[in-house]
């Protein structure tokens, strides 16, 4: 039996208004809300399901986040001094807010362009085709129109298509096969593009894990080994123009429950990060990828590195797209910081947990927000107390 749904509380890591009690994700369609072209192009009053409270719609300061721009060419050159300097830049950013950007990352610009082109191949499909590929309750793969199948309020103004990527799969067509199965033979080429994109993202993520290990002063290969056999999540986001962009959000304020996020956003922009009690814009850079720490890696660093609150705005006139790769450990890997990270007599900030349990919590019991990890820990301890004594 699952423990009761937890209520969110204010985070101790950032100053931000406490969220309201979260609603358990639903398994049925939300009152007939379908995020089709008629709704996206509406001229009248914004449906109440898409309205966000004023505390979430606080205007941006128009200031840009001063996150570091890290040149990964240093790894190819083997310049240890430059690598140490880059690690220090990453450390400073991650201690404060967990965001940085990388250039010379090794991902072919033509592959990124192709991945954007194929976003249209997915989201321009007939609505009936997309709904036939709808994400199943409790799962992550498939199509979602404004998450209307999960929530009844504060719906995001976006469409998403997500799928899993198995780091250890011996198949070089796992995503092609998935696209054929879910979207049909016509999308085989789309699947091939995302197969190559995910392979490139996996390789890049392991380099970044090495850089994070260096920045934390632990064994250089520790996090690389930890994530080599993971199952990551790839997501394509499409944000249509919105006539009431000041009343809604493309993605609400949240932290990522996963470990590491690698994002490419188009030149429209819209990603914002909450730092020092203000929202800051993350500048779109066509040649760069945005990296941010998620809740699971925050636990792996014993809370040293921050999983920071962020959101995505929508534009009144322009559509927006982004490509997101969420790095996750193997489902049953025990999430705990390396022993040599902890100082003498330093207390653990989080008990051991598995990614599969945290994932279940976010998919079935809780809507990700500023307090996801702490709420999950409380939920897990409640669950453990029902079955066995806690070892934390």
Q: What is the pLDDT of residues 45-92, one digit of tens each?
A: 888 999 999 989 877 667 999 999 999 999 888 889 999 999 999 999
The yes-or-no answer on residue 283 being catalytic is no
The Cβ of residue 164 has, within 10 Å, a number of other Cβ atoms equal to 17
Is residue 282 a part of any domain in this protein?
yes
Mean pLDDT of the chain: 87
Catalytic residue among 135, 150, 320, 321: 320
Domain containing 277: what range?
49-350
Query: Residue 375: pLDDT above 70?
Result: yes
Task: Please tell me the predicted confidence (pLDDT) of residue 6.
Answer: 36
Task: Please tell me the predicted confidence (pLDDT) of residue 84.
Answer: 96
Is residue 370 a part of any domain in this protein?
no
Is residue 291 a part of any domain in this protein?
yes
**How many structural domains are present in the chain?**
1
Is residue 163 a part of any domain in this protein?
yes
- Cα 153 to Cα 26, 52, 252: the distances in Å are 11, 8, 11
pTM above 0.85, yes or no: yes
Q: What is the mean pLDDT of residues 241-264?
A: 95
DSSP 8-state secondary structure symbol assigned to residue 30: S
Q: What is the pLDDT of residues 99-138, one digit of tens each?
A: 999 999 999 999 999 999 999 999 999 999 999 999 988 8
Which stretches of 28-108 are DSSP H helices?
A: 37-40, 73-77, 80-96
Is residue 21 a part of any domain in this protein?
no
Is residue 12 a part of any domain in this protein?
no
246 vs 18, more confident: 246
Task: Please tell me the predicted confidence (pLDDT) of residue 32.
Answer: 59
Q: Are strands 271-275 and 289-293 parallel, antiparallel or unpaired?
A: unpaired
- CATH number of the domain enclosing 142: 2.60.120.330
Is residue 203 a part of any domain in this protein?
yes
Which own/partner pairs from 124-131 qualify as long-range (CB within 8 Å, at least 24 positions apart)? 125/183, 127/34, 127/36, 127/37, 129/183, 129/184, 130/159, 131/34
Query: Residue 27: pLDDT above 50?
Result: no
Is residue 377 a part of any domain in this protein?
no
Predicted confidence band of residue 38 (pLDDT cuts 50, 70, 90)? low
Q: What is the pLDDT of residues 202-230, one digit of tens each?
A: 999 999 999 999 999 999 999 999 999 99
DSSP 3-state assignment of 216? helix
Q: How many helices (H) and strands (E) does the chain have?
A: 11, 14
């Amino acid at each position: 039996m699952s423990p009761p749904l937890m209520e969110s509380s204010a985070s101790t890591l950032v100053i931000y208004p406490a969220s309201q009690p979260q609603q358990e994700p639903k398994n049925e369609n939300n009152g007939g809300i379908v995020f089709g072209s008629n709704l996206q192009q509406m001229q009248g009053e914004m449906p109440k399901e898409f309205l966000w409270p004023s505390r979430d719609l606080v205007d941006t300061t128009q200031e840009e986040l001063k996150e570091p721009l890290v040149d990964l060419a240093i790894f190819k050159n083997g310049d240890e001094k430059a690598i140490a300097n880059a690690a220090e830049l990453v450390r400073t950013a991650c201690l404060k807010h967990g965001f940085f950007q990388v250039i010379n990352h090794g991902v072919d610009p033509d592959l990124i362009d192709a991945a954007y082109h194929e976003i249209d191949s997915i989201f321009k499909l007939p609505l009936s085709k997309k709904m036939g590929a709808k994400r199943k309750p409790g799962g992550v793969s498939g199509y979602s129109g404004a998450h209307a199948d999960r929530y009844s309020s504060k719906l995001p103004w976006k469409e998403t298509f997500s799928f899993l990527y198995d780091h250890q799969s011996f198949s070089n067509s796992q995503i092609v096969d998935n696209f054929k199965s879910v979207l049909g033979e016509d999308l085989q080429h789309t699947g091939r593009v995302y197969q190559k994109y995910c392979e490139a993202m996996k390789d890049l993520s392991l380099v970044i894990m090495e850089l994070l290990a260096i920045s934390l002063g632990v064994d250089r290969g520790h996090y690389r080994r930890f994530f080599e056999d993971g199952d990551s999540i790839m997501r394509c986001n499409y944000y249509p123009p919105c006539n009431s962009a000041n009343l809604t959000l493309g993605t609400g304020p949240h932290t990522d429950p996963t470990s590491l996020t690698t994002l490419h956003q188009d030149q429209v922009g819209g990603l914002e990060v909450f730092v020092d009690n203000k929202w800051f814009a993350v500048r779109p850079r066509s040649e760069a990828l945005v990296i941010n720490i998620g809740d699971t890696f925050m636990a792996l660093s014993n809370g040293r590195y921050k999983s920071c609150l962020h959101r995505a705005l929508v534009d009144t006139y322009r559509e927006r797209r982004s490509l997101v790769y969420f790095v996750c450990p193997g489902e049953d890997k025990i999430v705990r910081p390396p022993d040599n990270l902890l100082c003498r007599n330093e207390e653990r900030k989080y008990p051991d947990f598995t990614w599969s349990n945290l994932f279940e919590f976010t998919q079935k019991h809780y809507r990700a927000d500023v307090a996801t990890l702490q709420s999950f820990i409380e939920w897990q301890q409640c669950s453990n107390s029902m079955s066995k004594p806690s070892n934390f």
